[in-house]
Amino acid sequence: MIKEIKNKYSHLFEDELLEEINQVGTFKEIPEGFELIKPGSYIKFMPLIISGAIKVLRGDHDGDELLLYFLEQGDTCAMTLSCCLRHHKSEIKAIAETDTKLVMIPIEKMEEWTSKYKSWRNFVFSSYHKRLVETIETIDSIAFLNMDDRLLKYLKEKTKISHTKIINTTHQQIAYDLHTSRVVISRLLKKLEKKGIVKLNRNNIEVLEM
């Protein structure tokens, strides 16, 4: 495990901290689609992502949901951070977008490392900042863009995250992520296909134009 951590995090953390992570962290391989965090649950570990991607959604009480952002290599979940620090329930949902490797850190270490390691503090602050900015960008999309542009942005983000132009998903799943209905997504995807921007197949969408 130490090899993977070292590869991805040695430029961020000092050796001593890397060693501690290695001591107390648990290495995990998560398959695509696995639900890491359920809304309303308590969180006892904090994930450090080594490879892959995690989709973070806002999960409503009534089952409504909406994509907030993706986490990638080098990221951690700010909501998890604050839930850990303040021992609150999660207000979000997290699902492995691709097969993902990560290290779970027990929350007790959070406070300790925050006072002990400057690099850890910077990492945590930087994570908070990134997530806040991404959340605000999500607000931009919802507030300022029409559904067709939001859809296009979503497709582009998906291709970026998964490093392929072919997105394996259903119209219904996209509708969940963007909090709209399947019919709306099908309609708009068809429009994008007519413009030559995507090619539609069953269970997959090929993004032609970037």
Kindly list the residues in this chain that would bind DNA in the complex (CB under 7 A). 146-148, 170-172, 179-184, 186-187, 189-190, 200, 202-204
Beta bridge partner(s), residue 106: 45
Minimum gap (Å) between residue 36 Cβ and a copy of itself: 18
Contact partners, residue 184, CB within 8 Å, separation at least 6: 147, 175
Minimum gap (Å) between residue 10 Cβ and DNA: 41
Q: Which does 78 bind (CB under 5 to 8 A by kind): DNA, a copy of itself, none?
A: a copy of itself
In the chain, which residue ranges form alpha helices assigned H by DSSP?
2-9, 15-24, 78-86, 108-116, 118-144, 147-162, 171-178, 182-194
CA 144 to chain centre: 22
CA 31 to chain centre: 14
Residue 89 lies near a copy of itself (rule: CB under 8 A): no
| Distance (Å, whole) CA 33 – CA 30 | 8
Residue 62 or residue 163: which is nearer to a copy of itself going by CB? 62
Q: Which does 136 bind (CB under 5 to 8 A by kind): a copy of itself, DNA, none?
A: a copy of itself
Residue 50 or residue 79: which is nearer to a copy of itself going by CB? 79
DSSP class of residue 34? -
Residue 169 lies near a copy of itself (rule: CB under 8 A): no
Minimum gap (Å) between residue 128 Cβ and a copy of itself: 4
Residue 44 or residue 191: which is nearer to DNA going by CB? 191
| Distance (Å, whole) CA 170 – CA 202 | 8
Contact partners, residue 70, CB within 8 Å, separation at least 6: 53, 54, 55, 56, 97, 157, 161
Residue 60 lies near a copy of itself (rule: CB under 8 A): yes
Residue 138 lies near a copy of itself (rule: CB under 8 A): yes
The two three-digit tokens of residue 189, written as one number: 């995807």
Which residues sit at the interface with a copy of itself, rule CB under 8 A? 58, 60, 64, 66, 68, 78-79, 81-82, 85-86, 91-92, 114-115, 118, 121, 124-126, 128-129, 131-133, 135-136, 138-140, 142-144, 179
